[in-house]
């Protein structure tokens, strides 16, 4: 009986040990599974944290991109405003240039009309020397200076004092000509210098006259000779 009880107790202990071993095995297996799950959760957490960090970086980059786009938009708006202002100024300059061009065209037409009028009127003549009302002396040189001008060029300058003729054809291609002559009057009196000019189109200028006078040279008055006073004579005794 004792032997059977001992065997039963031994079997019970063995069964208990087996149960405990099995329980310990399951506990260890559960622990490993729990640790694996915990490690997996930690890895997932780290992965999520890394993904969150990457998302934060992407968010920051996106924010920077948005700010850059806002800055570019602001710059573009300013440039657009500048372009609009420049366009307005360009339109104003264009309008001013159009007005100026029209004025220049009008001035050109007026200048052409004036030029044509001058060409049809003939040369302009002026006597520089002698001056009006000047007085000269017989046998002394008198400088005669006549100036003629014309846009159509001068072909001849003619002037005379009474019957004395001066001037004549001039060098071609000149729009302004100055003729200088010397005249020596032989008699006294009032004289008139008459000058005219002809342009290359054969149009004669208006006559220009200048009056002056020639007088005799002044006569010198002889100085009275000194008289010698008589020496008093002393009477002899």
pTM of the model: 0.46
Between CA 162 and CA 170 the distance in angstroms is: 22
Between CA 170 and CA 198 the distance in angstroms is: 10
Tens-digit pLDDT string for the chain (237 aa): 667 888 888 888 888 888 888 888 888 888 888 888 788 878 888 888 888 888 888 888 888 888 888 888 888 888 888 888 888 888 889 888 989 888 888 888 887 766 666 566 789 999 999 999 999 999 999 999 999 999 989 999 999 998 888 888 888 888 899 999 999 999 999 999 999 999 989 899 999 999 999 999 988 655 555 554 555 545 444
Residue 213's SS3 state is strand
Q: DSSP string of 21-50?
A: HHHHHHHHHHHHHHHHHHHHHHHHHHHHHH
Look at phi and psi of residue 189 and say left if phi exceeds 0, alpha if psi is from -120 to 50, else beta. left
Q: How many residues does the chain have?
A: 237
Residue the block writes with tokens 């009127």? 121
End-to-end CA distance of the chain: 241
Residue the block writes with tokens 């006569």? 219
Is residue 173 within 8 Å of 148, Cβ to Cβ? no
């Amino acid at each position: 009986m004792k032997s059977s009880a001992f065997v039963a107790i031994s079997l019970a202990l063995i069964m208990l040990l087996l149960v405990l071993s099995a329980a310990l095995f399951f506990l260890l297996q559960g622990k490993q599974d729990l640790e694996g799950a915990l490690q997996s959760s930690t890895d997932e957490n780290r992965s999520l944290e890394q993904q969150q960090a990457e998302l934060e970086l992407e968010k920051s980059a996106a924010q920077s991109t948005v700010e850059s786009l806002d800055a570019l938009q602001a710059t573009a708006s300013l440039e657009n405003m500048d372009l609009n202002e420049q366009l307005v100024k360009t339109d104003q300059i264009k309008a001013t240039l159009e007005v100026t061009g029209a004025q220049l065209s009008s001035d050109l037409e007026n200048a052409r009309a004036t030029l044509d009028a001058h060409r049809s009127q003939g040369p302009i003549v002026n006597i520089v020397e002698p001056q009006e009302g000047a007085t000269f002396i017989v046998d002394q040189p008198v400088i005669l200076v006549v100036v003629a001008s014309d846009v159509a060029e001068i072909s001849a300058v003619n002037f005379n004092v009474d019957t004395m003729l001066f001037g004549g054809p001039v060098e071609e291609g000149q729009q302004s000509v100055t003729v200088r002559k010397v005249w020596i009057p032989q008699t006294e009196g009032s004289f008139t210098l008459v000058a005219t000019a002809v342009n290359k189109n054969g149009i004669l200028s208006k006559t220009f006259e200048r009056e002056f006078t020639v007088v005799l040279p002044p006569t010198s008055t002889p100085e009275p000779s000194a008289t010698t006073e008589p020496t008093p004579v002393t009477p002899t005794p």
